[in-house]
């Protein structure tokens, strides 16, 4: 790689702040010691604050996929029916996993250009008079497309038809970046992991669990061992784990939660929205198309950009990497080669974003992709007009 720091502008894993790296640079401690118990209690409480819940949160040494599996095996039984929406690649993977566990999935087809439609879910649930659906499973922020589903509206839709299905939400690329309220929105299982809004390396998987989901876990018929919530919750009460936890990632988690709370979750969410809007200002100026077509669903975490017909997104990404030492996200499955994704999450501010957008614009020019120059200026103008803090202008000294 070239000189200077590598720009990791993929939508997760996201760059790890120096402060978090330093916090993890510690000797490994005895995970049965009192010192560990204190760390365990602190991070379990900290995770509750980020999920915005007073209920239990469990932390697995796993990727997000493991936490998906934990949500399924702790609540459902083979043969159960669930309702899902094809928002993109990750919804499809979660659907395939559920099927492998013997779950019957009613998978509402989608065009990968918007979030889940609450009205469509409501209609399906209203028609399910026998309450065959045991769960509604939705991806909050579809990382493959840059579309965010409106979970509060989906909750309201479920409530309007008084359907008893569990609500399970993948918050893997939204938690800590997009407003998300496990308790207020009466989500039953929220699934997340460490390498996105938590700004940590990969390796921690999370489930936030409602009392209703906990009750389901006491009667469901799915075999499990490693992922069993009960086994985890018992030692968690004193800050411990049933098996060896990812000790040093937990040091990082303690620091990352402190950073999120010091900035204030509201400010964190507003920062992500501003950076996303500035990115879209650049993309629009270039004359390229944002993949997400529903403005209400624009993702604060990433922007997926469609290449003009005849231009390959992966070749373009290679030009950017080779020339400017920046990684952009690739298009996944259905949109492979057709889109590139700009991640603007976690440890990202105005200047980081402008540098990333500069790299994209120079890459477009070098790769000969038709575009209108000046997208960086458009992003700057957007950010200048909407300063993050007080908008008061500096007075000239002495005037």
Ligand X SMILES: Cc1ncc(COP(=O)(O)O)c(C=O)c1O
Binding mask 174-193 for ligand X (x = CB under 6 A): -------------------x
Residues 110-149 that bind ligand X (CB under 6 A): 139, 143
232 lies in the binding site for ligand X (CB under 6 A): no
> For ligand X, which is the closer residue by CB, 76 or 147?
147
57 lies in the binding site for ligand X (CB under 6 A): no
Peptide bond into 13 cis (omega under 30): yes
> For ligand X, which is the closer residue by CB, 197 or 359?
197
> For ligand X, which is the closer residue by CB, 180 or 324?
180
Question: Applying CB under 6 A, which of residues 12, 46, 146, 245 lies at the interface with ligand X?
Answer: 12
Q: What is the dihedral of CA 31, 174, 124, 167, to 10 degrees?
A: 30
40 lies in the binding site for ligand X (CB under 6 A): no
**How many angstroms separate the CA atoms of 311 and 291, rounded?**
15
Q: How far is the CB of 12 from ligand X (least distance, A)?
A: 5
How much is the CA Rg of the chain, to the nearest whole Å?
22
Question: Applying CB under 6 A, which of residues 90, 180, 340, 382 lies at the interface with ligand X?
Answer: 90
Stretch near ligand X under the rule CB under 6 A, chosen from 166-174, 206-214, 254-262, 318-326:
166-174
Question: Applying CB under 6 A, which of residues 57, 98, 151, 172 lies at the interface with ligand X?
Answer: 172
DSSP letter string, 223-279: --STT-HHHHHHHHTTT--SS---HHHHHHHHHHHHHHHHH-HHHHHHHHHHHHHHH
Question: Applying CB under 6 A, which of residues 42, 63, 325, 358 lies at the interface with ligand X?
Answer: 63
The upper half-sphere exposure of residue 288, i.e. CA atoms within 13 Å in the direction of its Cβ, equals 30
> Which residue is closest to ligand X by CB?
64
367-to-7, 284, 319 alpha-carbon distances in Å: 19, 19, 7
The encoded tokens of residue 367 equal: 């790769």
**DSSP character at residue 333:** G
295-to-113, 147, 152 alpha-carbon distances in Å: 10, 9, 17
Residues 260-289 that bind ligand X (CB under 6 A): none
Stretch near ligand X under the rule CB under 6 A, chosen from 114-122, 167-175, 284-292, 379-387:
167-175
Contact residues: ligand X, CB under 6 A: 12, 63-65, 90, 139, 143, 170, 172-173, 193, 202
């Amino acid at each position: 790689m070239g000189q200077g720091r590598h720009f990791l502008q993929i939508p997760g894993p996201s760059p790890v702040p120096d402060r978090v790296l330093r916090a993890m640079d510690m000797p490994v401690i005895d995970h049965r010691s009192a010192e560990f118990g204190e760390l365990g209690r602190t991070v379990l409480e900290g995770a509750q604050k980020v999920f915005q819940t007073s209920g239990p949160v469990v932390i697995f040494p796993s990727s997000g996929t493991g936490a998906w599996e934990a949500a399924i095996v702790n609540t459902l039984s083979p043969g159960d029916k669930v309702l899902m929406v094809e928002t993109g690649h990750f919804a499809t993977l979660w659907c395939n996993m559920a099927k492998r566990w013997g779950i019957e999935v009613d998978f509402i087809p989608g065009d990968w250009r918007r979030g889940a439609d609450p009205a469509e879910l409501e209609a399906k649930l209203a028609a399910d008079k026998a309450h065959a659906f045991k769960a509604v499973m939705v991806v909050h922020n579809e990382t493959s497309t840059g579309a965010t589903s409106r979970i509060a509206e989906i909750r309201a839709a479920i409530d309007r038809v008084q359907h008893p299905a569990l609500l399970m939400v993948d918050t893997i690329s939204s938690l800590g970046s997009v407003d998300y309220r496990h308790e207020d929105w009466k989500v039953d299982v929220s699934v997340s992991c460490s390498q996105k809004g938590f700004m940590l390396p990969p390796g921690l998987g999370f489930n936030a669990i409602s009392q209703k989901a906990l009750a389901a876990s006491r009667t469901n018929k799915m075999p499990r061992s490693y992922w069993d919530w009960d086994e985890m919750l018992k030692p968690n009460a004193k800050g411990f784990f049933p098996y060896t936890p990812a000790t040093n990632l937990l040091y990082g988690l303690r620091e990352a939660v402190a950073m999120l709370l010091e900035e204030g979750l509201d400010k964190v969410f507003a920062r992500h929205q501003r950076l996303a809007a500035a990115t879209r200002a650049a993309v629009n100026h270039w004359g390229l198309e944002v993949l997400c077509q529903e403005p209400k669903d624009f993702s604060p975490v990433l922007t997926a950009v469609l290449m003009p017909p005849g231009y390959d997104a992966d070749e373009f990404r290679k030009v950017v990497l080779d020339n400017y030492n920046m990684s952009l996200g690739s298009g996944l499955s259905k949109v492979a080669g057709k889109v590139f994704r700009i991640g603007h999450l976690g440890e990202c501010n105005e200047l980081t974003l402008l540098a990333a957008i500069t790299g994209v614009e120079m890459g477009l020019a070098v790769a000969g992709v038709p575009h209108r120059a000046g997208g960086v200026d458009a992003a700057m103008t957007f950010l200048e007009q909407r300063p993050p803090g007080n908008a008061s202008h500096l007075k000239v000294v002495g005037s």
